[in-house]
Amino acid sequence: MTDASSCAFCEIIAGRAPADIVWEDERTLAFVDLRQPNPGHALVVPRNHIADARTLDAETGAALMGTLVRVLRAADRAFPNQGLSVWHSIGPAAFQEVPHLHLHVLPRRLNDGLLRVYPTHPEDAERQSRADAARRIREYL
């Protein structure tokens, strides 16, 4: 686990690393991602070093969501698109590259080939399987 002293996003937040900032407030920061598969790809991060959403507190989460909505509406108006993708990856299986919570905002174009969720069309799960999954999640709420 990376701590704040070696975190690329903490360096940006502290002003020690360059970034193209699009929004900032007391709890959050948004900046243009280095990678631009489509123009307007931006990241929204909490100012506090939080590895991922599993340890996110409610106040920071609310602030993060407010900034996310502000940035995605701006990206939607600023860049031609036929939709937007918003995501947060957690851990290596989800390809999280920087262990600081960050939400991606990516304007999308039809057939851009990005972020295909399912490699093939999945079958609907059986009713009992869905009920079992719901029960297991409820046990931890």
The catalytic residues are: 102
Q: What are phi and psi of 107, to 5 degrees?
A: -60, 140
Q: Which helix (H) or strand (E) holds 42?
A: strand 42-46
Q: Is 72 left (phi over 0), alpha (psi -120 to 50) or beta?
A: alpha
**Partners of 84 in beta bridges:** 107
Structure tokens at 118: 């399912």
Give DSSP secondary structure letters for 121-133: PPPPPPHHHHHHH
Structure tokens at 58: 């409610």
Residue with tokens 């990241």: 43
